[in-house]
Amino acid sequence: MIFTRTTALKGTVTVPGDKSISHRSIMFGALSNGTTRVTNFLKGADCLSTIDCFRNLGIQIDDNPDEILIHGKGLHGLSAPKRMLDTGNSGTTTRLICGILAGQDFTTELNGDASIQTRPMKRITEPLSQMGAHITSLKNNDCAPLRIEGAPLHGIHYVSPVASAQVKSCILLAGLYADCPTSVTEPYLSRNHSEIMLRHFGVDLKSKGVTATIQPGAELFAQDIQVPGDISSAAYFIAAGLMVPDSEILIRNVGINPTRNGMLKVCQDMGADLTLLNVREAGGEPVADLLVRHSSLRGVTIGGAIIPTLIDELPMIAALACFAEGTTIIKDAQELKVKESNRIEVMAVNLNAMGACVTATEDGMIIEGGHPLHGAVIDSRLDHRIAMTFAVTALAADGETRIQGADCVRISYPGFYKDLEKLTANCC
């Protein structure tokens, strides 16, 4: 796909449902008694992988135009799958489902696409093994494909070396099947959608600072879940509005959970004209409309506790920093190396190809703002967030930007290019 410079992005966009919350609605609905009804579910490829896995585990899930219905069978209602589970490109599906499968009385094998087969799984297999789980990496490389032989589990207190909601959620879900309480302490608080939603389903789960503790054996009760819009998808329109001269964009119904809203804080520190309107609650999560206008930005330093709250937005923030005056430093973000692609390397290579001045570091990037950008050929490496980041960046760059593998946006935002096109005439 080819993108060129534009001016004056104007209009309203409603981003699709939150990916993290959509995944969890299927998983927790499957483990509940009764029918869970989910509205504004994200029908991206990752969440469809979660649906497919739970259908394969014997759960009836109706995919209706306006709602998803999950006919839960309770904590012990899953059945052995007839074939290997396919988690596609989804790290969330892969890691969270392992926590559930570890406590079943059957054996499961799972695998995903080429990217999933390179992503580190030791971060979950190690704590799960401490709980008594039997998990094997079938290629003996600590990655998928994995075999999970269900086993009796015991509760542990796990001190995680990484701030990862996928690790935390995996262990807490295994904790549902354990013989005593399970706690997870992380270095910084990661997104807390599992904690919020499991409490809604009736689980006794307490959070204190960076530690979450779950009591086993709870009965989960079906819920109605209204999924808020995904701030990670809104990020592209926030950046587009800030970068492209004379723009004014209203982004409706965006989840602003404090464990996810780091980009809003960073934009404000950079001097962005960004206003939160109509702050309210949906499905136990805070939501707002965001009004963003083109702004002069300054460089900032981003590191420490804020990193997990904007981890998926860092590619877009790195590109935005190229339009700021002065230097932006991103640090403590080594997790970027083990996402759908090595996002430190891919961002540095592609931004520099567009004329930016970016140095990749061990745990982030140093970006000298103010160098005018020009078009380039961008290899998305089939990473949805890289493709969307460069589709936006191209709108504020000279010449033509060609994005290879642009279709990978179907992972988290199938309608992305259409929504972007509504704000600009330059997308073809």
Catalytically annotated residues: 312
Residue 93 contacts ligand S3P per CB under 6 A: no
**Residue 92 interacting with ligand S3P (CB under 6 A):** yes
Identify which of residues 169 and 261 has a Cβ nearer to ligand S3P in the complex.
Answer: 169
- For ligand S3P, the closer of residues 194 and 424 by Cβ is 194
212, two tokens: 């979450």
Which stretch of DSSP H or E encloses residue 119? none
3-state secondary structure of 200: helix
Neighbouring-strand partners of residue 65: none
Count of residues of this chain found to bind ligand S3P when the rule CB under 6 A is applied:
12
Interface segment toward ligand S3P; rule CB under 6 A; list 142-150, 160-168, 292-300, 403-411: 160-168
CB of 116 vs ligand S3P, minimal distance in Å? 13
Q: For 271-361, where are the E strands, in sequence order?
A: 273-282, 285-293, 297-298, 301-302, 324-325, 327-330, 357-361
Smallest gap from Cβ 1 to ligand S3P, in A, equals 23
How far from each other are the two terminal CA atoms of the chain, in whole angstroms?
A: 7
Q: Which stretch binds ligand S3P (CB under 6 A): 58-66, 79-87, 165-173, 220-228?
A: 165-173
- Out of 26, 128, 165, 347, the only residue in the binding site for ligand S3P (CB under 6 A) is 165
With binding defined as CB under 6 A, does residue 166 bind ligand S3P?
Answer: yes
Measured from the CB atom, the residue of 102 and 423 that comes closer to ligand S3P is 102
Binding region for ligand S3P (CB under 6 A) out of 112-120, 161-169, 178-186, 246-254: 161-169
User: Could you give the CA distance from residue 184 to residue 305 in angstroms, rounded to a whole number?
Assistant: 17
- Work out how close the CB of 191 gets to ligand S3P at its nearest, in angstroms, rounded to a whole number: 6
Q: Minimum Å distance from CB 301 to ligand S3P?
A: 21
Question: Quick check: 20 binds ligand S3P (CB under 6 A)?
Answer: yes
Q: Please report whether residue 312 would count as binding ligand S3P according to CB under 6 A.
A: yes
Neighbouring residues of 199: CB distance < 8 A, sequence distance ≥ 6: 205, 284
Rounded Cα distance between 406 and 385, Å, is 10
Site residues for ligand S3P, 187-226, by CB under 6 A, read: 190-191
- Residue 335 found at the interface with ligand S3P (CB under 6 A): yes
User: d(Cα 402, Cα 3) in Å, to the nearest integer?
Assistant: 7
274 vs 427: CA distance, rounded Å: 25
Question: Does position 164 bind ligand S3P by CB under 6 A?
Answer: yes
CA-to-CA distance for 397 and 373, rounded, in angstroms? 5
**In this structure, what token pair is assigned to residue 81?**
């799958």
148 beta partners? 108, 135
Distance of CA 356 to the CA centre of its chain: 26
User: Which residue is closest to ligand S3P by CB?
Assistant: 20
Binding region for ligand S3P (CB under 6 A): 20, 23, 92, 164-166, 169, 190-191, 311-312, 335
